[in-house]
Structure 1
Amino acid sequence: MEGATRVFAGDFSGATLTVPADDPGSPGWIVTPGGAWCRLLYLCGALTEVTEIADVLHCRLADPTGAFDIVAGGRMGAVAEQIRAIPVPSFIAVTGTAQLYTKNGSRAVSVRPEYIHVIDRAVRDRWIALTADMTLARLELLLASLEECTGDARADRTIRHYGLTRERLREMVSMVGGALDSARTAPAAPPVAEEDISAIVMEIIRAKSGPRGVAVQDVIDAGEAGGFTKDAVLAAIGTLVTNDDCYQPQKGYVKPL
């Protein structure tokens, strides 16, 4: 299963490069100036605005570097209903697909959400810290390719397309530093209560369940993407089974009752 990319809004919003996938049946990549190759994204931030136009929801998800455009509607009706129920503002986590389109003669990016849940500030801050680490690693790779001609094809393609310079890379490093500073200065948040974790895990099970239910590993992966440990997710599943909220139709699977 493909892992979700973590990227800051300040980087993603500048993306204008698309690269087709090797497999003709798979979606292509959206490449950011900071070297993130995006298809499936995992994002955390503040839901600050929700606007509905012709049954399509346009949402603003803000992180310390800017904002993502989250668009849900049409066949994403269940996700749209979930968004309508979330108070604004709220901290949320979004797993979704990166999209790039042409608007008024220029390119713009958005995210089509596949899964959304409400989180607290502590989860958001952990996302900032890990996204900062990943972004800095990508920037280091770009700098090495720029200075030493490492032969990294992806890095070279990114550098050529965006005309990257050392100064531009330093600006992106400063952006990351500002995001980290905002998380460090934010007031501490209490840990998520056990019953809240169980509720979120139950949402994951309902959202992902098919005729056979959903694989426990898929629930763990979604929970870890939301900032929870494997042990916490497994404990929540155990609680849900004990309380008859879900059951195990076969080994390794759970299904809502």
Structure 2
Amino acid sequence: MSEREVARRVFAREFNDSNLQQGESAERSANFIVTPSGVICNRVFVVGVLTEVESIGTGGQAMHRARVADPTGVFTVYAGEYQPSAALFLSSAKTPAYVAVVGKARVFNPERDTFYTSIRPEEINVVDEYVRNRWIYNTALFTLEAIKNMERAVESGLRGAELERYMRPFTCDAAGIARALDHYPAIRDRMHAYRKMVVDALSAIVDVAPPQKADASCDGMAMAAIEGLIKRLDRGGGVRYEALLEASFKLGYDEAMVEKTLNALMDAGRCYEPRIGILKLT
């Protein structure tokens, strides 16, 4: 009996940037996704806010599609007859909710240069904010280590099997790094962007002290004000963006500040968009 692959941690942005596969043609072998930082994923472990669940089954077959948001983006999760426990969970899930998902990583390539990543869940459980925050923290540490290894590989100037041998003492993903470096363009720029991504993700779980002055440009005050408006205006079905914008203008916030503040609230898991143009608090 083959060993079960370890579930890897990865942020949604890097997961959705991934389109390199290996193992799909080998008989009875696992299918792997190789991320731009070289992490080899067969199974993944993610935690985020379950923001949407829809039934997309046809012909009497149950199939659910869900969206799970972390501070960097959104994972797409599909569960059907081959994931019965996950499908049952999603069929009655309430949104929004913090959830932990363990499942198989998949890339769908319907046509040339078009790729869609998703997770086929083995298990989904409701968790709390503390678990979500710990996942962000630990995934940030893991991602920074992966970035450091990729940057070491780039600096070595090596490629292929020679690079893989060089990287083996540093990481179990030596083969993935060698393949990713040959596959993904602009690796240096990607790693720089992912470092910023990690910082932004960590900022979502850091408590911000209340501002000392009533300054409309202060993010802390804006977040409290916009959050309060959504709470006051929501009559149960959410708040239209246009209505929120109009109310925000009366408080002295322009559209750019409202957009920036909504993004911060969503990144922190305090606000979500059940439908395009509709805002609700978590």
User: TM-score, with normalisation over the residues of structure 1?
Assistant: 0.68
Secondary structure in 1 matching 2:9: coil
Once residues 62 and 101 of structure 1 are traced to their aligned partners in structure 2, the CA distance between those partners, rounded to angstroms, is: 20
Distance 1:164 1:82 in 2: 40
Of 118, 141, 145, the residue aligned with 1:133 is 141
Shift of 1:164: 3.4
Offset of 1:176 from its aligned partner? 0.8
* Of 16, 20, 25, the match for 1:17: 20
Q: Aligned to 1:13, what secondary structure does the other structure show?
A: helix
SS at structure 2 position matched to 1:183: coil
- Which protein shows a greater Rg? 2
1:181 pairs, out of 203, 213, 217, with: 203
Alignment of 1:49-64 (within 5 A): 49-54=52-57, 55-64=62-71
The whole-number CA distance in structure 2 between the counterparts of 1:2 and 1:104 is 29
1:142 aligns with 2:150: yes
What does 1:39-118 correspond to in 2, within 5 Å? 39-54=42-57, 55-103=62-110, 105=112, 106-118=114-126
Deviations 1:12-32 (A, max 9, x none): 001110011797322121011
Structure 1 residue matching 2:54: 3-state secondary structure: strand
Q: Distance in 1 between matches of 2:110 and 2:152?
A: 34
CA RMSD of aligned residues (A): 2.0
Name 2:39's counterpart in structure 1.
Answer: 36
| Corresponding letter in the other structure for 1:56 | M
- Percent same amino acid among aligned pairs? 34
Shift of residue 121 of structure 1?
0.5
- CA gap 1:119/1:160 in 2 versus in 1, 3 angstroms: same
Secondary structure at the counterpart of residue 7 of structure 2? coil
Q: CA deviation at 1:186?
A: 7.8
1:103 deviates by: 3.3
Query: Which string of whole-angstrom CA distances, capped at 9 and with x for unpartnered residues, describes residues 121-176 of structure 1?
Result: 00000000111111111111110110123623431211110023322211111001
Distance in 2, matches of 1:119 and 1:63, equals 14
Distance in 1 between residues matched to 2:22 and 2:182, nearest whole Å = 14
State the one-letter code of the partner of 2:31. G
| Aligned-residue offset at 1:116 | 0.8
| C-alpha contact (below 8 Å) 2:36/2:180 kept by paired residues | yes
Any stretches of 5+ residues in structure 2 without a counterpart? 165-174, 210-282
Partner SS state of residue 136, structure 1: helix
Partner Cα separation in structure 1 for residue 104 and residue 123 of structure 2:
10
CA shift at 1:79, angstroms? 1.8
Q: Hey, what does 1:196 align to over in structure 2?
A: none
Contact 2:85 2:123 in 1 (8 A): no
> Quick one: which of 155, 159, 162 aligns to 2:177?
155
After the TM superposition, which parts of structure 1 deviate over 6 Å for at least 4 consecutive aligned residues?
none
Distance 1:186 1:60 in 2: 27
CA shift at 1:77, angstroms?
Answer: 2.9
Instruction: Give the match's secondary structure for 2:143.
Output: helix
* Distance in 1, Cα, partners of 2:185 & 2:68: 28
Task: Kindly provide the amino acid, as one letter, of the partner of residue 148 in structure 1.
Answer: S
1:181, distance to aligned residue in structure 2 (A): 0.8
Say if 1:84 and 1:22 are closer, same or farther in 2 by CA, change over 3 A: closer
Letter in 1 for 2:5: E
Contact 2:78 2:120 in 1 (8 A): yes
Retained in 1: the 8 A contact 2:18–2:36? yes
Letter in 2 for 1:136: L
Check whether the contact 2:77–2:118 (CA below 8 A) recurs between aligned residues. Answer: yes
- Residue 34 of structure 2 contacts residue 176 of structure 2 at CA under 8 Å; is this kept in 1? no
Residue type matched to 2:201 in 1? A
